[in-house]
Structure 1
Amino acid sequence: MKVLIVEDNKELSESVHDFLVSERFVCEHADSIDSAREKLLFYSYDCVLLDIMLPDGSGLELLRFMQHEKIMSGVLIVSAKDALDDKIAGLDSGGDDYITKPFHLPELHARLRAVYRRKKTEGASLLTCNEITLNINTMEIFVRDSKLDTTPKEFDLLHYFIVNKNRVLSRQSIATHLWGDHTDNLPNFDFIYQHIKNLRKKINALGGADYIETIYGLGYKFNTTTT
């Protein structure tokens, strides 16, 4: 999962970042509404962890911006305020959930995953595409009831493909979604080809179809329409 942490408290932001990275999240950071707007326009995120109190205004302004730009990331609102009115305002402005400071990092982790499930898999823990099933909670993949032995990045890659099945994904979008926005300046994305090659080989070994189609000059597509 790729998360944008919008938080101006450096110590808290770093603590959340380090914890989520240890849980296999890809995290980027913005410390103001302006910097968050810029990132949201140029990059895609599964979830936004949004502080209400920011140095250049209210996080509710960013929620309204996301609605106007039709940015469909899930939003978990974070605030030191525990007033009911603040919670209602945040949820009515487009937030998917609300957590109050101070919070425990495992609870934050659980809430982010719950927001992601509701936005991407309609609340289900199992994501199925023909003979392939992903368990979002246990990070396991099964092909025709046989467990697929994958690396964490291979799981994330297949997950990203299935969520976006039958859509062409550029090499850059795959790289930035799974490895972070710093991949923008890499000279090439050859490492993606190697990950896809390994994933294809493992799926085929268990009798799964080769859904990953190379779209020359553009990227890749998890194509289920011709199978």
Structure 2
Amino acid sequence: MKVLAVEDSKEIGSSIRGFLVREGYICELAYSFYEAREKLALFTYDCILLDIMLPDGSGLELLKFIKTEKIQSGILIISAKDALDDKIDGLDAGADDYITKPFHLPELHARLRAIYRRKKLAGNNIITFNEITLNTDTLEATVNDVLLDITRKEFDLLLYLVINKNRVLSRQSIATHLWGDYTDNLANFDFVYQHIKNLRKKISAANGADYIDTVYGLGYKFNSSKV
């Protein structure tokens, strides 16, 4: 999962990022309205943690921007303890859930996972396509009931390909989704090719079909029409 945490407190933002990174997620930080809006215009995220109180604007205004621009990220509002109106306004404006300060990081994690399941995985933690099964709770992937020996990045890559099947995904979009926005400035994305190569080899070793097409000059596509 790739998360943008919009939080004016650098201490809280750093704690959130540290926790989510330890859980294996990509987490980018924005400390202001305009920094967040710039990131949202340039990059895509699975979920957005959105603090209502920002130093240069309102999180609710940023939420309106997200909806106007048809950004499909899940949204978790972070509100002050007694700010009932903010919670109601945020949910009415299209947020998926809210959490109240102060909060426990494991609860934040649980709410993010629930939003991700609803938004991206149709509410399921088990994703199945033909002989491939992915368990997003245990981070296990099986092909023809054979458990694959794959890394966390390879699991995330396979999940990203499966839930975006039949869409061409550029090497850059794969890189930023799995490694973070800093990859936007890299000269090449050869490391994406290497991960794709390793994933193909491991699926083939379990007698799985090679669904991953190379779209030359563009990137890769998980082709669901292959048998």
Q: C-alpha separation between the residues in 1 aligned to 2:83 and 2:194?
A: 50
Q: C-alpha separation between the residues in 1 aligned to 2:97 and 2:88?
A: 10
Structure 1 partner of 2:52: 52
1:178 aligns with 2:174: no
1:213 aligns with 2:209: no
Structure 2 partner of 1:204: 204
Aligned-residue offset at 1:187: 1.3
Q: C-alpha separation between the residues in 1 aligned to 2:144 and 2:205?
A: 11
| Secondary structure of 1:17's aligned partner | helix
| Secondary structure of 1:81's aligned partner | coil
| Secondary structure of 1:119's aligned partner | helix
Cα RMSD of the aligned pairs, angstroms, is 0.9
Matching residue's letter, 2:89:
A
Structure 1 partner of 2:137: 137
Structure 2 partner of 1:94: 94
- Give unmatched runs, 5+ long, in structure 2: none
Aligned-residue offset at 1:104: 0.5
Q: C-alpha separation between the residues in 2 aligned to 1:194 and 1:208?
A: 19
Q: C-alpha separation between the residues in 1 aligned to 2:150 and 2:226?
A: 26
Aligned-residue offset at 1:226: 3.5
The 8 Å contact of residues 52 and 86 in structure 2, kept in 1 or not, is answered as no
1:33 aligns with 2:33: yes
Structure 1 partner of 2:152: 152
Aligned-residue offset at 1:160: 0.6
What is the percent sequence identity of the aligned residues? 71
Aligned-residue offset at 1:85: 2.5
Q: Deviation per CA, 1:25-53, whole angstroms, max 9, x where unpaired?
A: 00111111111111111100000000000
Q: Deviation per CA, 1:87-134, whole angstroms, max 9, x where unpaired?
A: 111111111010000000111111100000000011111111111010
- Give unmatched runs, 5+ long, in structure 1: none
Structure 1 partner of 2:187: 187
- Matched residue pairs, number? 227
Matching residue's letter, 1:41:
A
TM-score normalised over the length of structure 1: 0.98
| Secondary structure of 2:188's aligned partner | coil
Aligned-residue offset at 1:61: 0.5
TM-score normalised over the length of structure 2: 0.98
Matching residue's letter, 2:207:
G
Q: Deviation per CA, 1:142-187, whole angstroms, max 9, x where unpaired?
A: 1111111100100010011011110000000000000001011111
Structure 1 partner of 2:120: 120
82-91 or 117-126, which deviates more: 82-91
Q: C-alpha separation between the residues in 2 aligned to 1:190 and 1:86?
A: 45
